[in-house]
Structure 1
Amino acid sequence: MDTDKPLISLMNAAYQNSWKKTNWANHDAMLIYTSGTTSKPKGVAVTHANLHAQVENMVDAWEWTDDDIILHTLPLHHVHGITNCLATPLYCGATCVMMPKFDARKVWTRLLSDQNPRINIFMAVPTIYAKLIEYYNQTYQSPKVRDFIRGFCKENIRLMVSGSAALPAPVMAKWEEITGHVLLERYGMTEIGMALTNSLHGPRIPGAVGNPFPSVELQIVDGDGRVLATGSGANGTAVTQGMEEKAGELYVRGPSVFTKYWRRPTITVKSFTTDGWFKTGDTAVYQDGVYRILGRDIDIIKSGGYKISALEIERHLLANEKIKECVAFGLPDSMWGERVAVVAVLHEGESLTLMELKTWAADKLAHYKIPSVLECVDEIPKNAMGKVNKKEVRTLLFPEENQNTPL
């Protein structure tokens, strides 16, 4: 294997020189479809130049080298699996150990194995980390075994990343307890690759996604078109005076941003500003030196004049020992505009009433963020990447409410 690495490096260098000297850079390299959690899936055309910028951002920020070995368990039809976990290691001559599909037992076995090549990088979505924690709790009961797992992971694995959905704080805390690793949370989209990342070496803040990757430019823009904050991987972030900690839509620009939606010219034009900023549709805030993603339209609950992040509510509720997973969203309300609704899956044998949840949440959430609707179900539907389409869940469980709610 080691004897092949110089050849891989030469091949990569030859490829880079070749496409830079030709017009390949602006040719489409990949067509990836969006996950469809907020609207009908759209084909995203990614050029060779886009892909090159996306990969180089991750190599620089996360210090990839040809000595790295990543365990790959994600689907290849999504940017997380194809770009982050496959194209990036191959670009720098690292090793990618592929699994045909996710299996909690096999992942734990491989992560804890001395078998060569020994894994030192792992990336997954929050649902996978939750399933790995569940398997750990059921299987590894001995204190000595648990001590071994923590020591082995801390010594042999240099980076563990979570993305594609918001990371619940209890999952982050439990994973650190199990492995000694604080998961690195980042933010990206099919259209832009990775845009924001927590620090590789510095503190990682729960609920935050850090700062821009090297070649990325960002803006936070409010509903009136005012720029609240602007930043870049090169120059940091400047906040407009008087606009501190104000939330707005996140705009992204740079060489990593896609060129067009496949055969959707009208939607492509509407997705960009006249000066080239891509409108992500995500609401963000710059606070205490880091960016926080509050969510998409479905994740922003407008109640009594407040804009409430459903993602924040979910993070808090998952600390309840009875709740296994949950999603929050708004339902129409004649007095408040919207009320906070939660759909929850409980741990086996547990029960939970709305009044019990309200009592539990009273000292953990502001009064206007406490749910007024609770629906307990056996399962919350997800797509192949473990993402939930909240609009579908809302329509399925509250069909009468949705008659008056724009989807």
Structure 2
Amino acid sequence: MNRRPWLNTYPGDLSRRTTPGSESMLELFATTVSKFPDRTAIAYFDGAVSFRDLDQRSDALAIALTEGGFAAGDRLALYTQNNPAFVVGLLAAWKAGGIAVLINPMNKARELSHLLGDSGATALLSLDDLYVSVAREVLDGGQTEVRQVFVASARDDQKRDDERVIPVAEQPAVSGALRLTDVFARHSDRRPAPVSGKPEKAAVLTYTSGTTGVPKGAINTHGNLAFNTHTYREWMKLDQDDVVLGIAPLFHITGLVGHVCVSLVVGSKLVLAHRFNGRVVLDAIREHRPTFTVGAITAFNHLSGLPGATKDDFASLRAVYSGGAPIAPRLRDKIRARTGMDIHNCYGMTETTSPTHAVPLGVAAPVDPDTGALSIGVPVFNTSVRVIDDDGTDLPPGEAGELVVSGPQITPGYWNKPAETAEKLVDGELHTGDIGLMDEDGWFYLVGRKSDMIIASGYKVWPREVEDVLLGHPAVREAAVIGVPHEYRGQTVKAFVSLQPGRTTSPDALIVFCKDRLAAYKYPRVVEIVDELPRSPAGKILRRELR
């Protein structure tokens, strides 16, 4: 194992034309269309969208945008599920010289209003049901700059309805908005004026999950996206014959880069299914035989427990990665035993445009003997990582501190937030707020976030260690640990757990289970059994909601 993995550089074949990340996403997509115009770009239920279709549809929407007053640098907000319309809107925003604003389709009126206002979006592409139930109320309030509204149906591009996922019987009335299918018909065979494709131009505003406060719009440039798309291509050994299973939300940085951008650049087929539904995703796996995916560990855990699922169902998946939340070694092993999938860890943030670390394909990640943490891998190509203490001093291998990252995938900052940008980005390095360590062989391990650390009687307790112990109990499905105020200890440990279907246990039994396996200051004094733990779309436990 290379003891200095931060010196990983791209293999020589990538230097044949340009440095990775020096192109714009539009240039890369244009190359794919010229090579594979009739190949399937998106498989959506029983429908198929070719790369030529994507090119022509995004041309039509770009023309409609510009004719409606959309100018270079303007923002188009995308408020959809995992639908082909998302990809069309993304490309159209770029072709019109603008920026795509990625919005969680679970957001309600208050949240949508904040994101539209913060981004200054002048156009919105929404699913019709989201427009009727949420967006129209926000727009009618007159507090946004949105002047153009386009809507798509979740049933567009599919021939066979799947009522398990899309129960709406008819398209709702969408007064005040223009249907995307009408845009395609009106502007067919027209091409927008070309725009400059500089890699330093903002491509998307990707809002942070808000686990520590109000969401901020991270600026991800064309160069950021292109660089880490190449990272996926080379690290996971992807080419046009691969099939990408799109289980991560497309509005999230993992789905955006690891699903959409990979397909647009590599020329591989992307399988979408509107939103995550275990049975529907399993059907898609059986039909399309995907070879690569990246998603939250919760999604893989769910798929592994579906009645009737077998190892044969997952046999086509040769490269499987998980990010967004730490993986307990026990959980990785349980999923592998059920499905045969070797899940590789990766680590990144919205601000790093997806991965900064990943486990090499085909390599088993080690477990740190002191913390019990499964390694998040080694730094990916051209990426530098330091571990520092509170004074900013580099720490030696084995000592935990804040991970500080630099590389071509790092955001230039937050949208209209210079103070927050200056706090997180210092001398070109991103201060992640995550606590981790590097061992003597160059493997990195994530311990937790600074804000999650518990101080009990003066001792530091990292929630992940307690959670890993709880996950070892046969009745426990998921676990989350927080610190709560305590008159004597300052803080004490509280655990929230959900149980495996059909299994029972009690809070007292779980406390005893942990007490036998953890130091006295670490084991939870309080355990609460809940049906589900609150999680972000990336699978991160929302501890602030538990608090």
Q: Does 1:282 align with 2:434?
A: yes
CA contact (8 A) 2:511 2:526 kept: no
Residue 163 of structure 1 contacts residue 186 of structure 1 at CA under 8 Å; is this kept in 2?
Answer: yes
Measured in 1, the distance between the counterparts of 2:340 and 2:531 equals 32
| 3-state secondary structure, aligned to 2:521 | helix
| Whole-angstrom CA distance in 1 between matches of 2:361 and 2:34 | 25
Partner of 2:409: 256
The alpha carbon displacement at 1:345 in A equals 1.8
Shift of 1:335: 3.8
Matches within 5 A, 1:16-35: 24-35=198-209
Is this contact kept in 2: 1:303–1:368, CA < 8 A?
A: yes
Q: Does 1:384 align with 2:533?
A: no
Is this contact kept in 2: 1:168–1:315, CA < 8 A?
yes
Q: CA RMSD in A?
A: 2.7
Cα deviation 1:4-26 (Å, max 9, x = unaligned)? 78346999xxxxxxxxxx67111
Q: Is the 8 A contact 2:231 2:380 kept in 1?
A: yes
Give the match for residue 289 of structure 2: 118
Aligned partner letter, 1:130? N
- Deviation for aligned residue 1:359: 2.4
* Distance (Å, rounded) in 2 between the aligned partners of 1:267 and 1:295: 21
Question: Is 1:223 matched up with 2:378?
Answer: no
1:4-403 correspondence runs (5 A): 6-7=35-36, 24-113=198-287, 117-135=288-306, 139-140=307-308, 149-151=310-312, 153-154=314-315, 156-193=316-353, 194-205=355-366, 207-228=374-395, 243-273=396-426, 275-287=427-439, 289=441, 290-348=443-501, 350-394=503-547
Partner amino acid, structure 1, of 2:290: I
* % identity of equivalent residues: 29
Give the letter for the 2:225 counterpart.
Answer: L
1:219 & 1:322 partners in 2: Cα distance? 39
Name the SS of the counterpart of 2:227 in structure 1. Answer: helix
Question: What are the Cα deviations for residues 143-186 of structure 1, in whole angstroms up to 9, with x where unaligned?
Answer: xxx7xx324533x2211111111223333112111222221111
TM-score norm. by structure 2 comes to: 0.61
Determine the C-alpha separation between the residues in 2 that align with 1:326 and 1:335. Answer: 25
SS in 2 for 1:76: coil
Distance change (3 Å), C-alpha of 1:351 and 1:150? closer
Distance 1:174 1:152, change over 3 A: same
CA distance in 1, matches of 2:454, 2:414: 29
User: Structure 1 residues 305 and 198, CA, compared in 2 at 3 Å: closer, same or farther?
Assistant: farther
Q: Deviations over 1:173-230 (max 9, x none)?
A: 12111222221111010000211111212222352101001121111110122111xx
TM-score by length of 1: 0.80
Answer with 1 or 2: which has the greater Rg: 2
Give the 3 Å change call, closer, same or farther, for CA 4–267 of structure 1 in structure 2: closer
Q: Secondary structure at the match of 1:67?
A: coil
The Cα offsets for residues 274-312 of structure 1, whole Å up to 9 and x where unpaired, read as x21111111111135311111212332223443322122
Note the residue ranges of structure 2 that are not aligned, 5 or more in a row: 1-31, 40-50, 53-195, 368-373
Q: Unpaired runs of 5+ in structure 1?
A: 12-21, 141-145, 229-242, 395-407
Residue 246 (structure 1) shift:
1.1
Tell me: CA distance 1:176–1:47, structure 2 relative to 1, closer, same or farther (3 Å). same
Please say if residues 295 and 538 of structure 2, whose CA atoms lie closer than 8 Å, have aligned partners that are also in contact.
no
Q: 2:289 corresponds to which letter in structure 1?
A: R
Give the AA of the match of 2:436. Answer: A
Is the 1:284–1:293 contact (alpha carbons within 8 Å) kept by the matching residues of 2? yes
Pair 1:179–1:377, CA change in 2 (3 A): closer
Distance change in 2, residues 1:338/1:186 (3 Å): same
Shift of 1:358: 2.9
Q: Alpha-carbon deviation of 1:348?
A: 4.8
Contact 1:198 1:205 in 2 (8 A): no
User: Cα distance 1:76–1:23, how it changes in 2: closer, same or farther (>3 A)?
Assistant: closer
- The verdict on how the C-alpha distance between 1:367 and 1:89 changes in structure 2, with shifts beyond 3 A counting, is farther
Aligned partner of residue 425 in structure 2, secondary structure: coil
Work out whether residues 282 and 297 of structure 1, in 8 Å CA contact, stay in contact via their aligned partners in 2: yes
Equivalent-residue separation in structure 2 for 1:7 and 1:357 (angstroms): 56
Q: Distance in 2 between matches of 1:5 and 1:202?
A: 35
Number of the residue aligned with 2:79: none
C-alpha contact 1:354 1:372 (8 A) present in aligned 2: no
- Equivalent pair of 1:212/1:218 in contact (CA under 8 Å): yes
Instruction: Tell me by how many angstroms 1:316 deviates.
Output: 2.1
Kept in 2, the 8 Å contact 1:69–1:121? The answer is yes
Aligned length: 356
